Structure 1
Amino acid sequence: MGHAPGRRPLRADARRNYDLVVGAAREVFADQGVGASLEEIARRAGVGSATLHRHFPSRRVLIEAVAHDHVETLCAKAEVRARENEPGPALFAWLRDLNDYAVSSRGLAASILHDGQDADLLEEDHGCQVMIIHAARELLRRAQRTDAVRPGIRAEDLLALVAAISLAAVHHADGEQAGRLLDIAIEGIRPRQEP
């Protein structure tokens, strides 16, 4: 992800520092989770704490930068799932894709799926949370139109479930528990069968 659209392009040295911090954050978050020390990230990037904070005024802004490429890939996968599957199976397969990423990201995905406190990120059309919500809404809308999912379910509900599952399964490295929990959630959003 580069700097935000509408802002001046970064100078070469600033761009290099930005990229170093994002790369270091990706490694540190993978090792230690999203609660890792920002000072450790700056140290690994070989920059000062002030440089890190100049580019990333909050932890959430840094998380967005680290997650952006993965989120773009997930959103593109949502479009592929929609083209290649019936609406219900498309939504369920994409929720599994999202769940796999959420579990493997060690809290990164859960951080972007919850309602963030940084109003500037929520207003940006390209923010990770906005992109994921848009993809989920489109798949859900199609699934509800074909009665594959109960009415009243919202995209934000599905994303909250995936975030909760990823946090609950964080200590199960194989992802099996997360898969089982998602299967239970999917059964819960299907239309109820009449007795």
Structure 2
Amino acid sequence: MSSQLEPAPANPTAAHGSDRELRADARRNRERVLRTAQQLFAAEGLGVSLDEIARRAGVGPGTVHRHFSTKEALYLAVATDQLKQLVAEAEELAAADDPAALFTLLSRMMANGAENAAVKSALAADEFDLRTAAPGVATDLTRHVAGLLDRAHAAGVVRHDLTAEELMALVAGAFAAIRHAGAETSPKRSAHIAQLILDGLRPLPRPGPARPR
């Protein structure tokens, strides 16, 4: 019989726990990079470098590159993340019994786009086409817009001739109007322009009786 000690068996529980910790740490780092990138893209535009994003996020450049191979990939991830939040808001509005919830959602979409370059690029297809880059998110958002539009149509609080595709086009057009008016840095002015657009979606007034001559 050999007198050598057999190697102790590996502790699978400890190994799995370590893997979980690494995965949790990686998720936290990715979330930190996303939040930092969102803030920097909104404040400084797409010109900010990945190294600067890493520095401001408090992680190494290699951490950013492991999660996002290019700045464009990070930009897309930021936009998709923000739009998923809009989809979540749309789901909440769809669950509420408010026939005018469509206007609330459109107002939030316009406000988010006016304040966030990544959201604006996604909704207006400036840097990329959301329908191609993140088709699932685009489909979900359009579906909720269409559902809230159907409810608004049934309640008579929106123009009867309005379609979901036209609504999405008007949201993109709102960003162009805000930029043309030089109101991108003024939440008050951009909100006023958005409200003018939303007011145009309400039902046309019915003509009154003809006055006798």
Partner SS for 2:134: helix
Relative contact order, CA 8 A, sep 6+: which one is greater?
Answer: 1
Task: Report the AA paired with residue 38 of structure 1.
Answer: L
2:148 corresponds, among 139, 155, 167, to 139
Structure 2: state its 5+ residue gaps: 1-19, 208-213
Matched, 1:85 2:95: no
Shift of 1:32: 1.8
Cα offset for 1:179? Answer: 1.9
Return the offset for 1:119.
7.1
Distance 2:64 2:53 in 1: 8
Counterpart residue number, 1:4: none
User: 1:140 touches 1:149 (CA, 8 Å); kept in 2?
Assistant: no
**Distance change in 2, residues 1:90/1:38 (3 Å):** same
Aligned residue for 2:55, secondary structure, equals helix
Distance 1:61 1:161 in 2: 25
Distance 1:165 1:131, change over 3 A: farther
- The alignment yields a C-alpha RMSD, in angstroms, of 3.3
User: When the two structures are superposed, what TM-score results if normalisation uses the length of structure 1?
Assistant: 0.69
Distance in 2 between residues matched to 1:119 and 1:97, nearest whole Å: 20
CA distance in 1, matches of 2:131, 2:152: 30
CA shift in 2, pair 1:35/1:159, >3 Å:
farther
Residues 93 and 101 in structure 2, CA contact (< 8 A), matched pair in contact too? yes
Measure the CA separation in 2 of the matches of 1:185 and 1:17. 40
How far the C-alpha of 1:28 sits from its partner, in A, is 1.9
1:181 deviates by 0.9
Distance 1:72 1:178, change over 3 A: same
Using the size of structure 2 for normalisation, the TM-score is 0.65
Quick one: structure 1 residues 194 and 16, their matched pair in 2 at CA, closer, same or farther if it must change by over 3 Å? closer
Deviation at 1:37, TM superposition (A): 2.7
* Matched residue count: 178
Q: Which amino acid counterpart does residue 110 of structure 2 have in structure 1?
A: N
CA distance in 1, matches of 2:70, 2:130: 8
How far off its partner does 1:132 sit? 2.7
Change over 3 Å in CA distance of 1:133–1:61 after alignment to 2: farther
The Cα of 1:183 is off from its aligned counterpart by 1.8
Residue identity (%)? 29
